[in-house]
Structure 1
């Protein structure tokens, strides 16, 4: 079969050669090819069932080009006098007008169906709606085609692992809201991992438009890398904290070891699970909860360090994040107790009950830290992706009652007080905030979690004692 070449000019990454698809499938699988020559992309599309060939049209001409449209053409071209022409003839005609008539040609194609391809640096995903860059109105037979005013947008949300269920619901609700209010389709790509791991991934190039992480510290790291504007906490309600949780202790059925407070986890007859403080936000909150249980009540820092060291001596393994530590405790049966987020316990117990199992008992120690999740637009990424307005709207939507209810349904403590009352959430007896009791988060990082910080000293002491040195 004959091939037809289409040259696409513009500021485009060579990734198009690997990521573009034509109407009959992936370039490689359908026999089409794409190459980069002198700053132009040449796509060779062969004939296939249902179309003579595919034309590739540039939708957005700017340094931020991220979307191409591949448009099947057959009957439309024939209606304009191209009936009976061969692929070779059409190729010749197209080449003649590509240098001075490209914009006019694109304007005349608004009545054609199209397939759009997102060319993000990490992910590729298809979207199926027309774009506002298709600005002409002339269609087949002179009929006026309907122009879609706004193209769909794709938001990448990088969140810490245990928020999965909440954000699956909240993103869906926001997409419905935005479509109704603005007539624009929004799709989400959700990336899940430990909070610290997510922060490092974004800094290293994960193209997240929004982050929702377990610690303000992790967002501050992304800010320090120049990706988030310094006013991120001031631009949205409640200092960018849409919901919070607290730290709880889960035990085995019947609580046979009678574990009721932090001090019980330091007993020599107790095996305790927590995630790794180097990779998981939950483990850092656990560490801080233990620290504050002593210092908030008037104890010394030396006493707090001793308690934490004794608890960590009883930890046989340190999984990467909150979800993994739950799997080890619930599914593998390791440990007498587990320290984790309240919301993780609530959600896991619900799943156990649904499968006709027995929910495990847990206790909320009275002196407890307020675990405040943070949410922010990754300003640099969102601007580069052209989704800043929608990303910012999504972050603000997370503070509305519909979104707050979804946080509450999955065990979080919502920011909106009326929603908390609706779900009968019992307040913690003596809650405390890190910034008020320990200091700013960068100070917290340096003191406890940085290289040669307190957690390194504690683990070194534990290794030395186990080796008898």
Structure 2
């Protein structure tokens, strides 16, 4: 079995002794080269902060010659951003040989990552998987209130969904959410108290129950609550983050099914546990939006605002959108998504805010201490 690559890094200027989980990130070779790199170079040219004076010379401030960025992100985005960072940095330096962008990564459960930034981790960029985590940084004055308007698609460059990862050949014949309530099925998932992916897992299962039992309100649905109680009773481990849950399922051999994101499931099936697992798409699942934003208080201080803006805008450029699809993320570009329907099939999903209300409401009623999740998970 190929070992899971957990390499991440925070460079020295970002170092914080309280954040011992940060590790060194070694950027691999980019997946997208040739024409894609050329297209990325053209995009970087349009976004580059270097201005040309009237006499035709470059007027670049010295602090923009070697730029260092930190992207603080959620657990299972690390594989995509390793590739995107390499793509962006190469295009940037090829177009501007005297400039160099060094992008470092920090990954963990989404809410813990957001809390680290709120507590002082010097992130230039936050790429999270839950709007409530971004809202917390807005409340702290670290992210601007209009972060959704700063980039296309409400600052969501790609989406995902929740799927079920089972052992090869699907020996327990797991086909949908309701099969996870059977007494012979053991479930692995992250902890909704710390992981945004786990919250999507719970909401995906719960939304399916409301749909299946035709119950309209989640506050008092008798049948859905009973089904979720059975499902949660089968959970044998709540890991801190999605990648830790992957490790429990693939390397530790725990459980019959892992509830995880679509991109993580494909990476496990293709790399981490090739030939050992199968992917099951539920009949009805949840849409996962992955917002991005600049931490302008940090970028202004570091002189990295223009480079950070180019880095985030580049996520909507076609080479990056292609890379997302190759990494089993659903790009916002519908034409690119349509070209990858063989690996990213059409799915029946629901938006969590349409079913459960705003993310603030979701957090305050479902995942707060003593909320609905705690009630249903209680033995």
> Do they fold alike, i.e. is TM over 0.5?
yes
Distance in 1, Cα, partners of 2:95 & 2:275: 44
Equivalent of 1:263, from 178, 183, 195?
Answer: 178
Distance in 1, Cα, partners of 2:12 & 2:118: 21
Equivalent of 2:294, from 377, 389, 399?
Answer: 377
C-alpha displacement of 1:195: 0.7
Q: Deviations over 1:207-259 (max 9, x none)?
A: 00101111111111111111100100111011111111111111112212111
Equivalent of 1:299, from 194, 215, 238?
Answer: 215
C-alpha displacement of 1:181: 4.5
Q: Secondary structure at the match of 1:165?
A: helix
Distance in 2, Cα, partners of 1:296 & 1:215: 23
Distance in 2, Cα, partners of 1:118 & 1:335: 39
Distance in 2, Cα, partners of 1:442 & 1:215: 11
Equivalent of 2:127, from 188, 212, 230?
Answer: 212
Equivalent of 1:165, from 73, 79, 104?
Answer: 79
Distance in 1, Cα, partners of 2:164 & 2:306: 41
Could you tell me which residue of structure 1 aligns to residue 30 of structure 2? none
Could you tell me which residue of structure 1 aligns to residue 88 of structure 2? 174
Q: Deviations over 1:396-447 (max 9, x none)?
A: 1111111112211221111111221232344443211112222111111111
Q: Is the 8 A contact 1:273 1:315 kept in 2?
A: yes
C-alpha displacement of 1:315: 0.7
Q: Secondary structure at the match of 1:163?
A: helix
Equivalent of 1:274, from 189, 192, 209?
Answer: 189
With structure 2 as the length reference, what TM-score do the two structures score? 0.80
Q: Does 1:394 align with 2:288?
A: no
Give the number of equivalent residue pairs: 322
Q: Is the 8 A contact 1:352 1:359 kept in 2?
A: no
In angstroms, what is the RMSD of aligned CA positions?
Answer: 2.3
Stretches of structure 1 lacking an aligned partner (at least 5 in a row): 1-116, 126-131, 133-146, 463-469
Q: Secondary structure at the match of 2:297?
A: helix
Q: Is the 8 A contact 2:14 2:121 kept in 1?
A: no
Structure with higher Rg: it is 1
Could you tell me which residue of structure 2 aligns to residue 235 of structure 1? 150
C-alpha displacement of 1:380: 1.4
Q: Is the 8 A contact 1:166 1:410 kept in 2?
A: yes
Could you tell me which residue of structure 2 aligns to residue 318 of structure 1? 238
Distance in 2, Cα, partners of 1:250 & 1:363: 6
Distance in 2, Cα, partners of 1:311 & 1:280: 18
Q: Is the 8 A contact 2:167 2:276 kept in 1?
A: no
- Give the alignment of 1:48-447 within 5 angstroms: 119-120=13-14, 122=16, 150-181=64-95, 184-297=99-212, 298-300=214-216, 301=218, 302=221, 303-352=223-272, 357-424=274-341, 425-447=343-365
Stretches of structure 2 lacking an aligned partner (at least 5 in a row): 1-10, 18-23, 25-49, 51-59
Could you tell me which residue of structure 2 aligns to residue 135 of structure 1? none
Q: Which has the higher contact order (CA 8 A, sep 6+)?
A: 2
Distance in 2, Cα, partners of 1:352 & 1:458: 32
Distance in 2, Cα, partners of 1:250 & 1:118: 38
* Higher helix residue share: 2
Judged with a 3 Å threshold, the aligned counterparts in structure 2 of structure 1 residues 363 and 120 are, in CA distance, closer, same or farther, namely: closer
C-alpha displacement of 1:177: 2.8
Q: Secondary structure at the match of 2:309?
A: helix
C-alpha displacement of 1:333: 1.1
Judged with a 3 Å threshold, the aligned counterparts in structure 2 of structure 1 residues 291 and 428 are, in CA distance, closer, same or farther, namely: farther
Q: Is the 8 A contact 1:210 1:378 kept in 2?
A: yes
Distance in 2, Cα, partners of 1:396 & 1:312: 40
